[in-house]
Copies of this chain bind each other. A is one copy, B any other.
Amino acid sequence: MTSRAQTQTLSDDPLGGTVRRTVLPNGLRILTEAIPAMRSVSFGVWVGIGSRDETPTLSGVSHFLEHLLFKGTKRRSALDISAQIEAVGGETNAFTAKEYTCYYARVLDADLPLAIDVVCDLVTDSVLTEADVETERGVILEEIAMHDDEPGDEVHDVFTEAVYGNHPLGRQISGSVPTISALTRKQIDGFYRRRYRPETMVIAAAGNLDHAKVVKAVRAAFDRAGWSDTAVPTARRSRTAKVPTRSGQVVVRNKDTEQAHLVLGCTGYPRQHDDRFALGALNNVLGGGMSSRLFQQIREQRGLAYSVYSFTSQYSDSGLFGVYAGCAPGKVEEVLAITREELARVASDGLTAEEVERGKGMLKGAVVLGLEDTGSRMSRLGKGELLYDELLTVDDVLRRVDAVTPEQVRRVTEELLARPMSLALIGDFDDGAFADALG
């Protein structure tokens, strides 16, 4: 008896195309959105494995593996992989996050079969030679060094570690110099074999495409690598570590920079929290745009910073909420005081009705304006299937944003700001500076 693939039509979005979903007998999920008006197709393999699935010793292995998969398969050298896609004017790349890794290509519609073949080949059939592990180790150490030369980015890692401590979510996606220096080919290959399985993956594609052809081509590519429709054991998951509730931390990293780079914040909401759209509206009004309170107070009114914004991050069982600013070292106290004052004011008085409407307008605009290219539509499918229980249509999202009330936003603010606040700071400061900043 041949196992059958199950296919369903999920939506026929007036703002996009027709979304179809097929589940292969081996557990591989394939989602496509057919948009005949586009000239390109984006194709991605989303793997539900990221840095939080690593033990401390293996820290950085997901990202190391992501690099190595481009180094060659049984059928293609590293140069073949990039040259085949680039010769037809396409692009291919990948990125690693805390809870997933994505490999993708964007090509003209006629070149989709090539893109499927190349991306599936590198994900399923990479050879990971000893020599490539050594070369790529050097590349990743340079990537870490480059990141350390960008204090505006680095301070976010310092903040994340301050909030999560030793929990896997607190570790850097790239790993550290010691862990990257120590990882062996055997460890990386073992991680690859154990974790990259059809049932931990989602295929997503959007653009001018035919669903049945995509399914057929993906199936052929997975068959070729021996990842065919046989039953496979479910990969073990290690996301059992409960996210700790830590007290507020102040972490200052001394560095000879021009600006002080600071992040002040706390834990936020997990990805599927009922109040996530209210938090999104709050984030927009507080520090999400040029009209936001923090931008107005810190930049427009006082000229204290060029870059100042609030942000949220979402994970399956946790999240982050924070404010970033880059300012003159002598202005850190003032920027912190204004930030804390604005946060307290929103928690006590709430936002005005006009502000809440603006925050909702920004959310809705980002949804609609953010879905004009095939790459973002492909990502919507991949993330929706892999990270959420449901794939909301664009209309569903807009309706849920519309339902947000000022009282809900006020409650969310009050709730968040009762949490322990942490401060991360990079700049030319003395040891012990700002130890009482959260007083």
Contacts and interface: CB of A to CB of B under 8 A. Distances in A.
A364 B306 contact: no
A284 to B, nearest CB: 8
Contact of A326 (B15, B142, B261, B300): B142
B373 A296 contact: no
A325 to B, nearest CB: 9
Interface string A21-53: 000000000000000011110000000000000
A244 interface: no
A113 interface: no
Interface string A262-297: 000000000000000000000010000111000110
Interface stretch (A183-191, A337-345, A354-362, A385-393): A354-362
Contacts of A295: 82
A362 B291 contact: no
B306 A146 contact: yes
A43 to B, nearest CB: 13
Contact of A374 (B258, B261, B363, B372): B372
A140 interface: yes
Contact of A328 (B108, B137, B145, B151): B145
Interface stretch (A86-94, A223-231, A312-320, A411-419): A86-94
Copies in the complex: 2
Given A148-B258, A259-B149, A306 B139 contact: yes
B303 A368 contact: no
A37 B36 CA distance: 11
A106 B365 CA distance: 10
- Give the size range of A's interface with the partner: 35 or more
A5 interface: no
A372 B259 contact: no
Given A82-B291, A83-B291, A145-B326, 20 more contacts: A39-B369, A81-B290, A86-B289, A86-B358, A87-B354, A89-B363, A89-B368, A92-B290, A107-B365, A135-B301, A135-B303, A142-B303, A142-B307, A145-B259, A146-B152, A146-B259, A146-B306, A149-B150, A149-B259, A149-B326
15 contacts: A39-B369, A40-B369, A40-B372, A78-B300, A86-B362, A87-B361, A89-B366, A91-B289, A135-B300, A142-B328, A145-B258, A146-B259, A146-B306, A149-B258, A372-B374
